[in-house]
Structure 1
């Protein structure tokens, strides 16, 4: 099992500031690589102009507080 599969919630963070960009609204299923691809593809589909932003982002597990506030 990958680290993302057991997460309550995941999202994208900015690599420089670690600020949460967006919460992924679906359950994390698959390997970490598959989940990373699903999250980045989903975000790109939501914001086609986000290609540059995605270069400076990474998929991460949300903190408990972030996960609760996202609901």
Structure 2
């Protein structure tokens, strides 16, 4: 069983700052490698200019507090 397989919400996080860049809005299924690709591809499709951000980002499990904070900030 992979780390992400039973995760609630996933997102992308910056490697240097640990800041949440995006919350993946769907349930991801597959191996960790497949989920990593799915989330990164989704983020790239949202904004092609985000390609540089993807170089320093990683897929991570987000806490409920991070998700709520991100929604408040965005909205």
Alignment of 1:66 with 2:39, yes or no, is no
Give ranges in structure 2 of 5+ residues lacking alignment: none
SS in 1 for 2:60: strand
Give ranges in structure 1 of 5+ residues lacking alignment: none
**Runs of at least 4 residues off by over 2 Å:** none
Offset of residue 66 of structure 1: 2.1
SS in 2 for 1:27: coil
TM-score with structure 1 setting the length: 0.91
After TM superposition, list the pairs within 5 Å mapping 1:30-69 onto structure 2: 30-67=30-67, 69=68
Offset of residue 42 of structure 1: 0.4
Which residue pairs with 2:9 in the alignment? 9
Rounded to whole Å, the distance in 2 between the matches of 1:24 and 1:64 is 13
Offset of residue 17 of structure 1: 0.4
